[in-house]
Amino acid sequence: MKTITLVRSEFARLTASRMGITALLALMLVPVVYGGFYLWGNADPYNALDKVPAAIVVDDVGTTVDDAVVNYGKDAADQLVDDQRFGWVIVSADEAKAGVTEGVYDFSLTFPHSFSADLASAGASDPTRASLVLTTDDTNSYLSTTLAKQAAAAVQAALTQKVGEQASSTLLNAVDSIRTGLANASDGASRLSDAATSASAGATSLASGTSTLAAGAQSLDAGLAELNARAAALPGSASALASGAAGVANGLSVVPGQVGAALTAAGVSAADQQPILAELAALSGAASQVSSGATALGAQAPALVSGISSAASGASTLADGAAAASTGAGQLSAGLAQLASGSSELNGSLASGLAQVSTTTAAGRASTAAAIANPVAVDQHAITQAQNYGAGLAPFFISLAAWIGIYALFLLVRPLSRRALTAVRRPIGTALAGWITPALLGAVQMVALFAVATLALGLHPANAAGLLGFMILVSVTFAAIVLALNIWLGSV
């Protein structure tokens, strides 16, 4: 018997009665129903998560940040309700506990009393880690617990990014304030350097002037000391001068009469004597004035001597002070020179530090803070992309359906015609005939399953012809495997 004849004979046997045809059609539909329902049921399992009841408890009392009252827990709860990813309901702590226990809610998420304060402490010297309380009950649904953990992780990630962005913004604003301070300090240091340089030059001139002053004061002190030494004899000399002048005046007072008598005796006329006598009288008056002046000088000489002594003492003090001033001016000049050098170095260091801190704007700092809080972005370039979760699982479910379909067909299909094998003695042709029948039926199953997946379920394969061909290849391969197992192990 030829291979084609054996295939025809097997198909005739399978369709010989209505019951046979019904059984064959039922088994042919097994992979279609199995694969179709699995693909339909898993097409988008997350599409109705908003129907999953979940409780939110907001015990957070808020805190103050930058003179503004914030409540991160309430804000996050409101955002969750608005997103409608789950069927969130804001309730009290007692309602949430009773609801999860009784199965009214699949899980609950609690924002504790100090949630905002703990979050805000991230920028403080003693930060405290904020906590979310997730309450689940696996007796309600283990899947709901898994979903609850994913929801809590998503909330945690969003809040972490928000807090990280705020902390980074605070840090960047502080850096900007530091930069402003550095700029002001640099300007001040520049002005200080200029003023110190000018002051240093003035101090140098002052040192030179005080040095000259000290030298002059020393000379003055020496001169007044000598004058003081000589002024000690002044009262005595003035007294002697007064006595001598008085004697001269007394002597001259009698001279005109004697001289007049002598001139008369000599035969000088009175008219010729008059100028001589007038002159003698004037000389006598002058001597008298000298005597009076000397007497007055003698009276004032002690006071003069005392004044000269005081002046000498003052000159000595002035000399000492001028010397000290000269020394201090020299030290001031050296100190101001160091100040000028130091302020110049400070100005250079501040300018260097300022150059390393870039200028920013409020918008730029906000953008940088956002980048720091979320530094990595995933830019996906998909060569081929499944349209939903079910499409991603389609290769698995289609392959599983193909295996089950072939396995079920061998409940009707005979793996091997023993009569043909004995009569014809062509094992290869007979085995090939035993494979072709389930392979053809499996191919029909795959065509039907392909039609259900693409037309009824709306899946869109990137390469439709390639997918259908591969489905048929997988089915006929499974037919060969099951055929071989039946031949080797028997129809157990």
DSSP state of 383: S
Of 4-13, 309-318, 437-446, the one with minimum mean pLDDT is 309-318
Q: How far apart (Å, rounded) are the C-alpha atoms in residues 302 and 231?
A: 9
Each residue's pLDDT tens digit, 51-89: 889 999 999 999 988 788 989 899 989 989 998 888 999
Each residue's pLDDT tens digit, 447-478: 999 999 999 988 888 899 999 999 999 999 99
Cross-strand pairs, 111: 58
Hey, is 413 helix, strand or coil? Answer: coil
- The CA R_g of the chain, rounded to the nearest whole Å, is 63
Contact yes or no for 64/98 (Cβ under 8 A): no
Q: How far apart (Å, rounded) are the C-alpha atoms in residues 395 and 397?
A: 6
Contact yes or no for 161/339 (Cβ under 8 A): no
Cβ neighbors of 96 (< 8 A, separation 6 or more) are: 55, 56, 57, 105, 108, 110, 135
In which band, very low, low, confident or very high, does the pLDDT at 256 lie, cut at 50, 70 and 90? low
Reading the block at residue 308, the tokens are 């000269």
Look at residue 184 in the predicted model and tell me its pLDDT.
Answer: 78
Q: How far apart (Å, rounded) are the C-alpha atoms in residues 197 and 163?
A: 50
Look at residue 444 in the predicted model and tell me its pLDDT.
Answer: 95
Contact yes or no for 57/92 (Cβ under 8 A): yes
At 86, phi and psi to the nearest 5? Answer: -125, 170
Average pLDDT value for the chain: 80
For a pLDDT cut of 90, what percent of the chain falls above it? Answer: 23
Cβ neighbors of 318 (< 8 A, separation 6 or more) are: 217, 220, 221
Given its phi and psi angles, is residue 62 left (phi above 0), alpha (psi -120 to 50 degrees) or beta?
Answer: left
Each residue's pLDDT tens digit, 268-285: 777 777 877 777 677 777
Tokens 């200029």 sit at which residue? Answer: 194
Contact yes or no for 10/413 (Cβ under 8 A): yes
In which band, very low, low, confident or very high, does the pLDDT at 335 lie, cut at 50, 70 and 90? confident
Stated pTM of the model:
0.51
Each residue's pLDDT tens digit, 385-413: 777 777 888 899 999 999 999 999 988 88
DSSP per-residue string spanning 334-361? HHHHHHHHHHHHHHHHHHHHHHHS----
Look at residue 333 in the predicted model and tell me its pLDDT.
Answer: 76
At 348, phi and psi to the nearest 5? Answer: -65, -40
Q: How far apart (Å, rounded) are the C-alpha atoms in residues 389 and 379?
A: 20
Reading the block at residue 160, the tokens are 């972490």
- Pick the most confident of 39-43, 206-210, 262-266, 331-335: 39-43
In which band, very low, low, confident or very high, does the pLDDT at 414 lie, cut at 50, 70 and 90? confident
Contact yes or no for 400/41 (Cβ under 8 A): no
Hey, is 478 helix, strand or coil? Answer: helix
Contact yes or no for 480/435 (Cβ under 8 A): yes
Look at residue 33 in the predicted model and tell me its pLDDT.
Answer: 93
For a pLDDT cut of 70, what percent of the chain falls above it? Answer: 83
